């Protein structure tokens, strides 16, 4: 059984840290090319997948809803995001990416190529194993979030 201090576990933790650091470096660099902060880019990325209420964005980013409001305000000013009523509860406002926002989020994702080349060197089966192991580490099932 692995412990927190066994050499293999420590090496894996260090490698995960290196991957995360490299991801954030590239993401922040790509965001800056679009005159966005890293936080603005992350919110835009979330909203490009689906409209979300501010509270849910804050939970996903692990920050205060007031921080999200400021980020949404700045993205809205730039025409990347819009607020709209939630069809299920008109008292709730959803933040949603505009077409320009979705295109910008796609460009941000496309700019993240630090993992593309190494992943391309893995077989489909190896990438599937890596995906499944990462999901398991995050407490998700093989089919995705629980």
Domain boundaries, the chain: 7-112, 115-146
pTM recorded for the entire structure: 0.76
The answer, yes or no, to whether residue 2 has pLDDT greater than 70, is no
End-to-end CA distance of the chain: 25
User: If you average pLDDT over each of 48-57, 83-92, 116-125, which comes out highest?
Assistant: 48-57
The predicted structure's pLDDT at residue 26: 86
For the chain, percent of residues with pLDDT exceeding 70: 93
The answer, yes or no, to whether residue 144 has pLDDT greater than 60, is no
Banded model confidence at residue 146, pLDDT cuts 50, 70, 90: very low
CA atoms within 13 A on the CB side of 70: 6
For range 104-118, the mean pLDDT: 85
The answer, yes or no, to whether residue 67 has pLDDT greater than 80, is yes
The predicted structure's pLDDT at residue 116: 74
Specify the fold of 7-112.
Answer: Arc Repressor Mutant, subunit A (1.10.10)
Beta carbons of 58 and 72 less than 8 angstroms apart: no
- CA 113, CA 42: separation in Å to the nearest integer? 16
């Amino acid at each position: 059984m692995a412990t927190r201090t066994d050499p293999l576990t420590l090496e894996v933790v260090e490698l995960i840290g290196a991957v995360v650091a490299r991801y954030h470096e590239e993401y922040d660099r790509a965001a800056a090319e679009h005159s966005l902060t890293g936080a603005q880019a992350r919110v835009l990325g979330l909203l490009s997948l689906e409209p979300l209420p501010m509270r849910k964005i804050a939970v996903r980013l692990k920050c205060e809803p007031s921080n999200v409001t400021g980020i949404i305000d700045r993205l809205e000013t730039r025409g990347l995001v819009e607020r709209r009523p939630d069809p299920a509860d008109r008292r709730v406002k959803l933040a949603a990416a505009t077409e320009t926002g979705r295109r910008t989020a796609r460009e941000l994702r496309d700019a993240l190529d630090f993992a593309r080349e190494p992943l391309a060197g893995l077989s489909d089966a190896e990438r599937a194993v890596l995906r499944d192991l990462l999901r398991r580490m995050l407490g998700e099932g093989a089919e995705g979030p629980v």
